[in-house]
Structure formats: structure tokens, C-alpha cells
Structure 1
Amino acid sequence: MDRRVFIKACSTLAVASLVDASIFSQTLANTKGTLKRYTKALLVKEDGSPLREEDIKPHTQYIFFYPYASTPCYLINLDREIKPVELKLKDGGSYTWQGGAGKKRSLVAYSAICPHQLSHPTKDYSFINYYPPDKPSETTKKGGIIQCCAHVSLFDPAEGGKVLDGPAEFPLAAILLETEGDKIYAVGTVGVDQFTQFFENFKQDLIQQYGSLANAKKMVESCTVVEIKRYTKEVIHC
């Protein structure tokens, strides 16, 4: 990794680590089990045409931004039917995730903001990534998972983003997908999101990238979907 990028990455993680754990506990208490509907946004390719299910290669990590212009999400084709599941939270609460979308029920999408310390993909680097079954993590020896290298939290994309291991206290927030014919839409989230804290923690970075916080918080009506390697310079695996 480029030294400048590495230093910036470490600085960002240091800022994120200052988040008071009580804030997350309060967020969990206030939003558990809540399905939130946002603007219905069409998933599109780089040329602006609608993204189709057959365009999404199996076990390939795609990034898009929803429900805000600056909040990253991952789209993954798990190449098999993914059934709904009930996720249980540490405080005894629970919520139901709808499972895979599309004709094969194999498409899943999650917020790419780690629920532990808000690590997320940027244009310079991504510490949180999907590891295909045939390319497992070197540190955990597990594949078919989403892993954050910042503090090695593991999540299961086939089980609603539930926590498999590590310090994360609740699952990845899932992005709700709906299909109409060949078109795919993002329509909301389910689970515990971190958007408010994300905007507070990374306010200056977002202003620098988007010109203003208002621009960063703008609701999207369409989402351009690209492979992660076309968005970020360094996809960091561990």
C-alpha cells in the first residue's frame, strides 16, 4: 500500500475508534428491528442503463451508494437461493431479514459501514470486503464472508449480515432490494444503521469530497453499481 494512503487510513481508523460505545448502545436500543423506507432508487450500470440480474457476476463485490450519496453499500450475487432469516440481537431483540432478491433469490446488499467502528470503503482504500468461498481470508481461513480488517469483525452475507466473530455487537445493516421485471431497486434498510454517527464522524472528509455536508446527505434516486476495484485504489485483504 502507498505510504500516504496507509497513514491516512490509520488516521481515519484512529478517529473512528474514539466513538463512544454508549452511542452505539443507544442507537441499538432506539432502532432495533426497524425497517426504514427511503427513496426508491434504481440500480444502474456506468452507462446509466438499468442493471440486470445477469450483469452481476457471482461472488464479485460491487459497490453503490444508498440511501445517501455518500453512504457505501455492497451488492453480492451469492449464486444460490438465500432464504429469509431472523436475526437476534444481544439485548434480546430480533428482526427478520427478507433474504435474497432477484429471480434466483441470490442477490444481497448491505451497508458497507462496519457496525463496530464505522470503517468503510473510500476512494483510497477499503478495509471491509467480501471474501468469496474459493478465496478465504488469510487470518480467519473463512470464505463466503464479509470481513473488516480494522478489527477483524466477520459477517455472514447469507444470514442477514449476522456477526460470526469479532468485536462487532450487531449485524451489518441490510439494504432492501426489490425487482420489477428486469429492473432492480434499493428501497430501504433493515437492522441497525449508523448513518447519523457516520455523518458526524466523517463530516470534514465528506465536505471535502462532496463540497458540502448537504450534498453528502442528498437522497439518491439512482445508484451506479461498479466493481469495488473500479472505485477504490486499494482493496485491503487480511
Structure 2
Amino acid sequence: MDRRDFIKTCGAIAVASFLDTKFFSEALASQEGFLKLYSKAILLKEDGTPLTEKDIAPHREYIFFYPFASTPCYLINLGDEVKGAQLKLNDGQTYLWKGGVGSKKSIVAYSAICSHQWSYPTKDYAFINYYPPDKPSETTKKAGVIQCCAHLTVFDPKAGGKVIEGPAEVPLASILLEEEGGKLYAVGVLGKDQFDAFFENYKTDLRKEYGSTAKAKELVDKCVVMEVGKYVKEIIRC
């Protein structure tokens, strides 16, 4: 086995160690360029104890930061089973998303950085948010979606974050979750990488918030999860 084949084999073993092997076994090759493993980070409640499935109320929006100290993510319990999906980009490339986790397979997590022009929730405001089934968007009339009010892109959290409408050309990146002994962990990111653009576009803001670019880019091994309303002063809905 040459070095290139060895690296590919090791990568496949690493993926299979924590993901649904059956789901990915026939399509690992298509994940190349979309799947990236980061530090395994435990999800914690605000009191520092491990977050469990029962702590995630259906259709509430929770925020945590992963894989970097400054990159926000949304955690949502969609209430019912969320099955895996194939995501297809405009250039024809595809990748597979494995669906929800938990006893009902209803818990999903996505990067909260919009894939259009990288709008993201700050401590002051959030333009990108989840709209539960009973609170549809006033502009698009859609519910059960993640919508960014900056340019009205709508994403489907039940289908791997695919774009339903709006100017975004790629789905939201999904955060890969793993459950062990009732505890939840973030283990990687699946989708088109948006982090370089995010850090470049908001470098001044991030330096002010975190003290330096290096601190904003620190990888995390634990994530405190809280309701978005506890972190953001003003949730912008449209």
C-alpha cells in the first residue's frame, strides 16, 4: 500500500469510528473536500454539567461555539426523526448528511454562519435564526426553517441545511454530533468550508471580541450550550 492509499484508508477508518458506518460506507469518496474532523468537544449546560437529550426542548434554538472559539452553531431538536439526505451543489458535487441524533433521531446542529455573506449571531443581534412550526417567517411564510434576514436565504434543517430559496448557493455547514453514554459531542463539520471567509471578513470584529485572531481561532474541546436569547440581545426576525 502506497502512502496516498494509506492516508485514505486511515481517513475512512477515522470517519467510520464515529459515524453511521452503513450510511457512509458506499459514499466515503464523495465526502472528500466536504468532511473535516476537528477536536471532539463535549456539549455542556451553563452550569458545566454534560448536556443530555432531555435538556434540548423541541423547536427551541440553542447556540454553542465549534470548532473554533468564535464560530457559532445552532442546536435544534426538530421533534421528529430527521433522516439522512444527499446534498447537491450547483457545480454537481454531492455529499451525504447522516440526519439527526438522539433516541428519536431528531437533534441536529448547523453552523450559524450564513453561507451567503457570512452573517452570524453576535452578542448584540442575530439576523439568522430558526423559525419553529408555529412561528413562520412574515416575509417568506415558511416555518420549520433557518432563515437569514440579511438577504432572505432560507435553509432546511430537516434536509442537511439545503437552500430552499434566496441568494445562497451552498447549504449551511452541518455540525456532526455523536452521542456516548447519554452525553453529546461535536466531532466535525460537513459541508462547504466557510471559515476562511468568515475569519477574513470579520477579522476586526473578532479581534475586538476575542483579543486576537489566534484566540478567535482556538479549537475547543468543550462547548457551553444556551438558548439563543440568553446570548443575543436582539433576535431579528423577518
TM-score (structure 1 length as normaliser) = 0.86
Aligned to 2:95: 95
Aligned to 2:131: 131
Aligned to 2:159: 159
What amino acid is the match of 1:117? Q
The alpha-carbon deviation at position 193 of structure 1 amounts to: 2.2
Matches of 2:78 and 2:62 in 1, distance apart? Answer: 12
Matches of 1:183 and 1:206 in 2, distance apart? Answer: 30
Matches of 2:84 and 2:33 in 1, distance apart? Answer: 14
Aligned to 1:16: none
Q: Does 1:63 align with 2:81?
A: no
1:170-207 Cα shifts (integer Å, max 9, x gaps): 10000000000110000001111210111111111111
Aligned to 1:81: 81
Unaligned segments of structure 1, at least 5 residues: 1-30
Q: Does 1:176 align with 2:176?
A: yes
Matches of 1:34 and 1:169 in 2, distance apart? Answer: 15
1:129-168 Cα shifts (integer Å, max 9, x gaps): 0000110000011100000000000000000000000000
Matches of 1:32 and 1:203 in 2, distance apart? Answer: 28
Name the count of aligned residue pairs: 208
Aligned to 2:193: 193
Aligned to 1:38: 38
Q: Do 1:33 and 1:96's aligned partners in 2 also have CA atoms closer than 8 Å?
A: no
What amino acid is the match of 1:193? D
Q: Does 1:236 align with 2:236?
A: yes
Aligned to 2:24: none
What amino acid is the match of 1:113? I
Q: Do 1:163 and 1:170's aligned partners in 2 also have CA atoms closer than 8 Å?
A: yes
Aligned to 1:141: 141
Matches of 1:171 and 1:230 in 2, distance apart? Answer: 27
The alpha-carbon deviation at position 32 of structure 1 amounts to: 7.1
Q: Does 1:204 align with 2:204?
A: yes
Structural mapping, 1:97-112, within 5 Å: 97-112=97-112
Matches of 1:90 and 1:196 in 2, distance apart? Answer: 21
TM-score (structure 2 length as normaliser) = 0.86
1:183-233 Cα shifts (integer Å, max 9, x gaps): 000000111121011111111111111111111000000000000000000
CA gap 1:83/1:33 in 2 versus in 1, 3 angstroms: farther
What amino acid is the match of 2:144? G
Percent identical among aligned pairs is: 66
Unaligned segments of structure 2, at least 5 residues: 1-30
- Aligned residue for 2:215, secondary structure, equals helix
CA gap 1:113/1:32 in 2 versus in 1, 3 angstroms: farther
Q: Do 2:38 and 2:188's aligned partners in 1 also have CA atoms closer than 8 Å?
A: yes
1:42-72 Cα shifts (integer Å, max 9, x gaps): 0000110000000000000000000000000
What amino acid is the match of 1:123? K
The alignment yields a C-alpha RMSD, in angstroms, of: 1.0
- Aligned residue for 1:108, secondary structure, equals strand
Matches of 1:62 and 1:40 in 2, distance apart? Answer: 19
